[in-house]
Structure formats: structure tokens, C-alpha cells
A and B are shown apart, each in its own frame.
Chain A
């Protein structure tokens, strides 16, 4: 069995003449909490979508949990939990109904799906809410999405901005759940623009810019001379701006 939860080699994806991802190499060890960072439009979401099989790669290889995409697509999907940037919630279901549906789609029998859905809703403090998801706040939607990614007890979590729009209490709860999962042997691969969160949670980090990995390693390896993660990020993506040019502002 491969020791890497995710092993990506020479991954490329273009949209017409625009190269969204150009030759990404990535290795995410099993049991790690991996932060995948980059400025807007750098290729983070495209990479995650390729990892989940939502979009095909132009070239390169993807191995997830020792299985090859797209050949073992169905088996891989069974073993990953996904929280994408865009909603995958069905608005006209209640939280409980949605979780039960997800559980059944991931192969759980109905009784088990209901039991797990009830437990997860209780854990994420949504148990008493029987409104349809369309009436949920953004934070509640994220919590349900998180619960949906947990219901089949996956080995690998792929999460695109999971804490966006979640209040402090909810975010804390979600972080605790993810840390607990990592302690139990699961792997978390997440993107976030909140660098403090990544700094606190992740043990390994990769930064992508213009579709290519510009740096990767442990947090300690990336920091040089006591820099914060934000300093590292700004330095490697070359994002310093000349505000003086906008003298009218």
C-alpha cells in the first residue's frame, strides 16, 4: 500500500489557451493535515476538482489512497469526503433528509444512514432544525456539508474553503472534528484563504501560483527567520502591491 494519500505527478489542465494547472507534482502523506494555498485563480479549485474526478486532467497522473484515477474512480469516491467550494446541498431537503440521502448514496443501509445523520446533526448543533436547507444560513450550510463529508467515514477529506462563512463557534467545532479525524488516521487536504487557520491546523503546506507549485514542505521548513505564514505566502506569490499608484483612492 502506498504511503501517500495523494500522489500527483505532472498534472496539467488548460481552458483553451489558458493553462489553469501546469505540471503540478504533489505528495500528501497519509495521516497529515495538508494546507493547499494560493491566491485567487491560482489553480487550487481546479486541482481539487481533478482530485475528486469532477473534471478530467489533460495529462499527468493522480493516485488517491493507492488507487489510480480515473480507472478506480468509483472505489476512490467511496473513500473520500468532499466539501467543495460550491454548494452540493439539495436545497429542498432538510438537513436530516440530505444526510440520509448522502449516506445511502455512499452505500450505507437506510437505518445506518439515519442513525449516523442524527448523530452528526446532534454533533454539529443542527438536530433541532427541521427547515429545508434553502432556509439555512451560510454557516449552517457549511456545517451540513461537513456532516455529509463525514457520514460514510472516509479516509481522505478534500475541502475547498470549509470554514468560509462559519461563525467562530462553528469553525472551532469543525476544526476539532477534523483534528480528531487526523488523529484517528484520516488525511485532510484543504484550501483556505485564512492563513491563521492553516498555520494552526496544518502540518504540511503547498503553495500554488499561476498553476504551478511554488513551494511546499512542513510549516517549519517554509518559515525562514521567524516569518509568519502570511509573510511566506506574500513573498512566494509576489503579491506586494503599489498602493500609491491609486492616488485618487
Chain B
């Protein structure tokens, strides 16, 4: 066990080095750019850069389906800890969700210090004082935004709509930029970035020699406002009863028979026999009623389209012809990978301590794993079908043979994903709270593992596409895809056998991991 923990820690360390190494590289780029740019360029781009930093700090943790580490109020309220101190801890935890931005900011500020146009080393007090205040402003604001969103996301049916609106809001500007909308139409955005009372513009201008005292005063007002907002939202969260908000309203309890949803849930019984049909039916019912799953499912088809669509329409299509041809497969595989966090990578996560039912039931555990995999596959293909409809509606240019190709390729990728997923589900099980949309999907160690496994799992299919591109032959493509399917099938068998053996030997450990609740600091 100690060896496994050591191995896990090493893996986490490697992934942290890769991830933050990348951000350190970007920070060094920020240093180079700010150190060598002229005053006019800096005047234009520093406020924009600071706005992006602010935006990342607030929004990205939400888009990645987690909201970073946070205090779990329900566990802390019983202790006589002053709310002010709890709020301080909560604000400091926001550092964890914006560590990347701290690196970029440090690189940028260091570059400005090296740039004679900003006053060189004499500008140290000005740059640091305003820089620290900007960080403080972001921490307070992030705390408030997080508390507000956590509360809003706990309202029934609201979270999916909110996520959808957020995604549209985030990708709309990019969509307009890469499509045929003229740049001149974005002058309003430029004016907004440079609008002096706004914190990024104030800091940008003061850093480049503008009046410092006035800037400090304006920034302090913004920071005080953010602190008030953060504290007010924190206090509201303290008094908020999420369980009551999520309770089933009278008259909207689960329907018994005859409804369309019942027909949907009973569908596996038409094709399969028990216990497989029963397990799949249970998974369909459970997952569709799990807020966290529903949110990720919505993100699966919407986020992929929002991210990739701008690259294949309008002027983007000319630059990304290959991507346009493979648009459907890219968004489908993207949806499949996103769905993995709440399904196949940690397939017992939502069962938590109830996993022991599967250990106590008179059914081979293989059938449980297979049933869960089939349920995941069902949802993956639902995502693909939704994406097919979206691409047809958007007239991206998807043909019937491409649709068939996607259905086949997704199935093959799923074999690899689920082979690894079955192993990770029993090696790194982690209890997931269905109601908490903000809870992270997995431990750092597990996420690091997944990060490594994705390229491996997708490699065979990638090689098939590469071969088609290199040899310009569909026969070669089909042959390699067939081989990938055979290897995938064998890998699935080996992975599942390995998982079954692990369950037999580590049953207690799995149960203990899945029964464990979060501590007072819920991590992502």
C-alpha cells in the first residue's frame, strides 16, 4: 500500500511538473514580450492581458467542471470558528484555482521591470503594489463568484441552463472573430478594455507611468467592493440549505409506469437479460438523476461544439480544412473524454459505500463492470447522436459515410477507454457526491493518470487516421482500424480481468475509499 502511495505521489509530481512547466514556459513568453515591447504596444496589450488573467481566475475552474478547493460549510459550522477566519481560508484557497495566472503575472511583471519604457527597476514599488492589489482583487472576486455559482448551481434544472448560457457567452466572441464578422465591429470591446475606471485598465496605465496614487485609490475601491461581494456571498452560503433547495417538490416525484421516461429506462430489458439489463437500467436511472452527471453530459456536446465550431466555419474553415473534415469525430471523442470523469474512469464513484451491494449480490462482478460499461457506452452514443444532429443543423458538411465512421471510431476508442477505466475504477476509486456540482471528479493522482492514459487510448485510432492521410487510402485506414478494434477488444478483456482480480484482493480498500467523505476542505 505504501508502495502504491509512493507511486501515486511520484505520478502526481510528474504531472504537476508537466502542467506547471508549461505555464512557466508561457510565463517566460510573457516576460519576453513585456520586456521587449514598445510603450504603445504595452499600452494596448497590458489591460487586455490583465482582463484575460481576471477572466481565467473566475471562469476556467467552472468550465473544467470543478471549482477548485473550497470549504465545506456543513462540516465547519458546528465548530466555534469565527466566520471572518473561515472567509480568510476560503479566499486563500482561491490561490489554488489561479496558480497559473500568478505565474503569468510574475513573468509579465518581471518583463516590465526589465523594460526601460516602464521605468526599469525604479518602477518596482509601483509594479508590485498594484500587482499585489490586483491579485487580492481577483481572490476576493473569485471567492464571491464561486460561492454565488455554487448556490445557483444547486437549484434544480438551473445548473444545466446556466452552464449552457455560460458556454455560449464565452465562445460567442471567438465565434464572431473567426467567422465573417469584421474586426472593426469590435471597437466597443477595445474601448471596454481600455475604460479607465476598470481595474485592468487602471493598472495597465499606472504601470506604464500614469498617475499612481489615483490608480491605487481606484483599485482599492474595486478591491473593497470585491471583498464585500466575496464576504456577502460567503455569508449567504453559510446560511444556505442546499439539501432543501434540491428536495423533490411535491407532485414531481418519480413517475411509476407508463411515462416516456419509464419506457426509456426499461429499454435495456428489451435487448438484454438480467442481471445486465437490471444493472444498465439502474445506471440510466441513477445517472440521469445525478446533477453532476447531467451537467457534464450537457457540457459534453455543447462545450466541444463551442470550442471547435469557430475553427470550421467562416474564415476558420479555410485555415482548418482537415479539422472541418474531421469535425464530428473530434467533438465526439472530446465528449467521450469529458464524460469519462463521471462514468467509466471511476465507475463506482456515485455508488459510494453502496458498492458493497455488488460485492454481496449473487452475481459475478464481471457482469457489474460490463453493465456499467454498456451504460456509459449508451450515454456516449447519445452524445454522438446529439452531435450528429447539431452538425447537420449547422450544415458543417457531414456526410453519411462520416457518420458511420464516427460511430465505429467512437466504439473502438471506447474499448480502450473502458479497459483503462475498469482498472482505474478499482485502483483509484473515489466517492463522488451527486448533488455537489462543484466537487472535483477525482484526486490529483487519478487525474494525472487519466492525463497520461488519454493519448495512449486514442493512439491506435490516431494512427489509423495518420495512415489514411499518408497513404491516401481508405483500405489502409479500415485495416488499421480493424487491427485497433482487435487490440482494443483484447485490451478490454485483459483490463477487465485485471479489475476483477483487484476487486477480489482489494475489496476492503475499495469500499473504504468509496465510503470516505470529503474533509472540511473539498478538493478538486
Q: How far is the CA of A88 from the CA of B256 in the complex (A)?
A: 23
**B405 contacts the other chain (Cβ, under 8 Å)?**
no
Asked if B354 is at the interface of the complex by the 8 Å CB criterion, the answer is yes
The listed residue (B350, B351, B354, B362) touching A77 by CB distance below 8 A is B362
Q: Are A89 and B362 in contact (CB under 8 A)?
A: no
Q: Which of A95-130 contact B (CB under 8 A)?
A: 96-97, 101-102, 104-107, 109-110, 129-130
Does residue A227 face the partner (Cβ distance < 8 Å to B)? no
Does A110 contact B274, Cβ atoms closer than 8 Å? yes
Return the chain B residue nearest A114 by Cβ. B257
Are A88 and B360 within 8 A (Cβ)? yes
Interface assignment of A93: CB less than 8 Å from any CB of chain B: yes
Check: A187 CB closer than 8 A to any chain B CB: no
Q: Are A101 and B434 in contact (CB under 8 A)?
A: no
Known: A105-B361, A107-B362, A131-B253. A54 touches B356 (CB 8 A): yes
Cβ A105 vs Cβ B364 within 8 A: no
Q: A88 touching B248 by the CB < 8 A rule?
A: no
Instruction: Flag whether A132 is at the interface (Cβ < 8 A).
Output: yes
Contact of B282 among A84, A90, A109, A132 (CB under 8 A): A90
A101-B281, A104-B274, A106-B362 known; A55-B247 Cβ under 8 A: no
- Determine whether A134 belongs to the interface, using a CB cutoff of 8 Å to chain B: yes
- Residue on B with the closest CB to A158? B360
* Contact size range, A: 35 or more
List chain B residues, Cβ under 8 A from A90: 282, 286, 351, 354, 357
* A172 at the binding interface (Cβ < 8 Å): no
Which residues of A66-85 have CB atoms within 8 Å of chain B's CB atoms?
74-75, 77-78, 82, 84
- Set B361, B434, B507: member contacting A91, Cβ < 8 A: B434
Q: How far is the CA of A110 from the CA of B262 in the complex (A)?
A: 14
Q: Which residues of B contact A130 (CB under 8 A)?
A: 253-256
A135 within 8 A of B: yes
Partner of A134, one of B278, B351, B359, B434: B434
**B502 at the A interface (CB under 8 A):** no
Q: Encode B241-260 as 1/0 by CB contact (under 8 A) with A.
A: 00000011000011110000
Contact between chains at A87 and B354 (CB < 8 Å): yes
A192: interface (CB < 8 Å): no
Q: Are B254 and A53 in contact (CB under 8 A)?
A: no
* Whole-angstrom CA separation of A96 from B352 in the bound complex: 20
Whether A105 contacts B363 in the complex (CB less than 8 A), given A110-B269, A135-B247, comes out as yes
Which residues does chain B contribute within 8 Å of A53, judged by CB atoms?
359-360
Cα distance, A87 to B514, chains bound together (Å): 12
| A181 within 8 Å of B (CB atoms) | no
A contacts with B: majority SS? loop
Does B524 belong to the interface (CB within 8 Å)?
Answer: no
Q: Which of B277, B278, B281, B352 has the most CB of A within 10 A?
A: B278
Is B106 an interface residue, CB under 8 A from the partner? no
Q: Which residue of A lies closest to B281 (CB)?
A: A101
Question: What per-residue 1/0 map shows which CB atoms of A129-169 lie under 8 Å from chain B?
Answer: 11110110000000000000000000000000000000000
> Is B496 at the interface (CB under 8 A from chain A)?
no
> Contact between A87 and B353 (Cβ–Cβ < 8 Å)?
yes
Given known A84-B356, A130-B254, contact A93–B362 (CB-CB < 8 A): no
From B275, B285, B356, B435, contact of A86 by CB (8 A): B356
Residues of B contacting A132 in the complex (Cβ-Cβ under 8 angstroms): 248, 254, 289
Q: CB < 8 Å: which of B248, B274, B285, B515 contacts A93? A: B285
How many angstroms from the CA of A187 to the CA of B378 in the assembled complex?
A: 42
- Structural contact, B290 and A86, CB atoms closer than 8 A: no
Do the beta carbons of A55 and B362 come within 8 Å of each other?
no
Is there an interface contact between B290 and A92, defined as CB atoms closer than 8 Å? Answer: yes
Given A84-B356, A97-B254, A92 and B434 contact (CB-CB distance below 8 Å): yes
Assess whether A101 is in contact with B248, with CB atoms less than 8 Å apart. no
When the two chains form their complex, are residues B515 and A97 in contact, meaning their CB atoms are under 8 A apart? Answer: no
A96 to B281, CA, bound (A): 14
Is A55 a contact partner of B360 (Cβ separation < 8 A)? no
Q: Cα distance A87–B352 when bound, in Å?
A: 9
- Shortest distance between the CB of B213 and any CB in chain A (Å): 56
- A212 to nearest B CB, angstroms? 21
- Ordered by A's residue number, 14 sampled pairs between the chains whose C-beta atoms are within 8 Å are A49-B508, A74-B363, A77-B360, A86-B511, A90-B351, A90-B354, A94-B254, A96-B256, A97-B285, A101-B281, A104-B277, A129-B253, A130-B256, A132-B254
The 3 closest A-B pairs by CB, nearest first: A130-B253, A77-B362, A104-B278
Contacts A92-B287, A135-B247 aside, 13 further interface pairs with beta carbons under 8 A come to: A54-B511, A77-B361, A87-B352, A87-B354, A89-B354, A90-B357, A92-B290, A94-B254, A104-B274, A105-B357, A106-B361, A107-B362, A132-B254
Interface of B with A (CB < 8 Å)? Answer: 247-248, 253-256, 269, 274-275, 277-279, 281-282, 285-287, 289-290, 350-354, 356-357, 359-364, 434-435, 507-508, 511, 515
